[in-house]
Structure 1
Amino acid sequence: MKFGVNLPNYGPEATPDALAGWALRVESMGYHYAMVSDHVALTPEVQHLFPAPFYDPLATLAWLAGVTRTVGLGTTVTILPYRHPVHTARVAANIDRFSNGRFVFGAAAGWAAGEFAALGVPHHRRGAISDEYLAAIKACWADEVASFEGAHVSFRDLHTGPLPVQRPGPPVWVGGHSPGALRRAVRLGDAWHPTSVTGDWLTGVGLPALRRIAEEQQLPVPDVSPRIKLRLTPRPTGPGRLLGEGTLAQITDDLGLLQDLGARAVVLDPTYPGDRREAGRTARDLDVLETLVKEVIDVDAGRVR
């Protein structure tokens, strides 16, 4: 199992130097991925959880590709309907080139209705648009000259190079918890990328549904690469807690559970949407990540100790 970290690419503490510092520290600790999230129009509903400024994930990762050397770089997640798929495919392929094949494309349909309205994208059609856009993106990655025909996007004989280093394209981690998201993960993803879930929901609801849809579609079950919270508490957290919240022992148990479930990767998320990241927060988060490497996870072996 590989281990990653969701970097805070938003809020008053987010600066180019801070993002570089996060990425380099995560890389130096041996974590396998440094990932960032996505919003484009910071409407009030978005700002409530993700205060400005918000650094664009694809631009940020293109820059971090030149700052880092070994750590994987990815989105958790790119909101598919916000950008034309040809443009998304091209920028993602560029990042994969700049990083020499270290890019992971996390993708989902999005949620913020006000943001969709600001961008002129129909919120109620976001699932269908996402399915088509992701298929179009993969078509652009697959061939030097690509064509695609759909209800929401069509193109013929586009020269799409440079192609990604990774063939036939970067790994696709599909986020979301709805039946439509699970179908998208089965049909178009290399991994399912649920976020902020409980262990009971993952084992009792999410994974059984994923397996059932794969069986219905007669397709392989995708790998699982969740993003979980990273909130260390001095006392045990009670029933209903999200994976990654609680004492060091509870977090260790959560990582062990994901390892036992055969997860391909887990992304640790210290960003706590809605929090304002007070002074000293970054140092504390990095200390927790360091503690995990020293006491809980063996990043070289890819396992929980």
Structure 2
Amino acid sequence: MGIQQNRAFNRIYQKDKMTLGFLAPFEPMTNKLPRMENTVGLARKIEAFGFSAIWLRDVTMQDLKSDDHGQLYDLWIYLTYLAAHTNHIALGTSSVVLPLRHPVRVAKEAASIDRLFPDRLIMGVASGDRKKDFEALGVEREGRGDLFIQSFDFLDRLLKEKNSTIKSELGTIDGTGMKLMPTPVTTIPTMVTGFSQQSLEWISEHGDGWIQYPRGVQEQSSLIKDYRELADRKQPGVFKPFTQTLYIDLSGNPDEEPKPIPLGYRLGRNYLLELLYKYQEIGVNHLVFVPFFARRPVEEMVQEIAEEILSYFPTHNSVN
């Protein structure tokens, strides 16, 4: 059974089309921890409006010298909480930091989510870059690329093979005498985030898709082109979607021209619609709005995008 049978995958990803989602927490970054008081309410509205996914980050420690705190709660615990308070919207990890989590535990957590909330998990994985998280957990940050590959291979085999026999420095699975419990209902899409200290060739071959950071349209277009060519060379005819984030501060003036902010733009909705069409044209299959630099209330931004833009990039009807 492949990812093409996964309903979350089909609702988010189709060739030559793009859907929209949001990254939590749905509030601006400040020097204070996120309150996350409005997250469930907004998640329900995002689902009701018809957006395709909500994404969560994997952050452990607060860096007291940075305003970027990620989210307040543990990734898997909060994802479970959101899943229980919503009905069908896909929930993505952006991303599980594999060097800081044992792959057997990640497999157990992901399979449990898939059993309790079938066809809702999209699992982004990454090598991580937050120094304080590595320091706190006693993991050598400089070696995270090699550890990522080891963990990815272990995790991928454990989730996708029927009876895995795995011998690794991270542990041993004897497929004749043990198996993961529970097993996933369907194949859980596993996507590499950023470069994760790997080559583009490795990413195009091993990931079920690729999650990337914002870039200008021309630069992103070139990257997507190279990725798709490599992916098709490795696995001809296999669709491997491309996801990216975009930081936005949506102006109340629909005709306000774009002004750069970190990793995105402050702009009016008419220019946002133009920009989204450009990203779709170059091959972005899912775009995740990030409101961390928003000056306008996020609730207003969500509603305006839902009412004025979402119909041009609708969530796909599942084929299953």
**Normalised by the shorter chain, which TM-score bucket?**
0.7 to 0.9
- 1:7-30 Cα distance to aligned partner (Å, 9 max, x none): 108964434x53321221111111
Conserved? CA contact 1:132–1:153, under 8 Å: no
1:223 matched to 2:241: yes
1:82 matched to 2:100: yes
- Aligned CA-pair RMSD: 2.9
Map of 2:58 onto structure 1:
38
Map of 2:19 onto structure 1:
2
3-state secondary structure, aligned to 2:168: coil
Map of 1:252 onto structure 2:
273
Map of 1:114 onto structure 2:
132
CA distance in 1, matches of 2:21, 2:281: 18
CA distance in 2, matches of 1:44, 1:216: 45
> What is the number of residues matched between the two proteins?
289
Determine which of 170, 173, 176 is the counterpart of 1:155. 173
CA distance in 2, matches of 1:291, 1:107: 31
Map of 1:58 onto structure 2:
76
| Cα distance, 1:40 vs structure 2 | 1.2
CA distance in 1, matches of 2:216, 2:80: 33
CA distance in 2, matches of 1:121, 1:107: 17
Map of 2:5 onto structure 1:
none
| Cα distance, 1:198 vs structure 2 | 2.4
CA distance in 1, matches of 2:199, 2:19: 23
| Cα distance, 1:258 vs structure 2 | 2.1
Fraction of identical pairs, as percent:
22
Bigger mean CA offset, 123-132 vs 283-292? 283-292
Determine which of 201, 206, 227 is the counterpart of 1:210. 227
Say which structure, 1 or 2, has more relative contact order (CA 8 Å, 6+ apart): 2
| Cα distance, 1:156 vs structure 2 | 2.8
Equivalent positions of 1:256-271 (< 5 A) are: 256-271=277-292
Map of 2:300 onto structure 1:
287
Q: What amino acid is aligned across from residue 276 of structure 2 in structure 1?
A: L
3-state secondary structure, aligned to 2:67: helix
Equivalent positions of 1:131-142 (< 5 A) are: 131-142=149-160
3-state secondary structure, aligned to 1:134: helix
**Cα distance change, pair 301–209 in 1 and its aligned pair in 2 (3 A):** closer
Under a length normalisation based on structure 2, what TM-score does the superposition of the two structures give? 0.79
Conserved? CA contact 1:41–1:119, under 8 Å: no
3-state secondary structure, aligned to 1:231: strand
Conserved? CA contact 2:195–2:203, under 8 Å: no
Equivalent positions of 1:11-30 (< 5 A) are: 12-15=33-36, 18-30=38-50
Conserved? CA contact 2:50–2:314, under 8 Å: no
**Cα distance change, pair 94–299 in 1 and its aligned pair in 2 (3 A):** farther
Bigger mean CA offset, 291-300 vs 19-28? 291-300
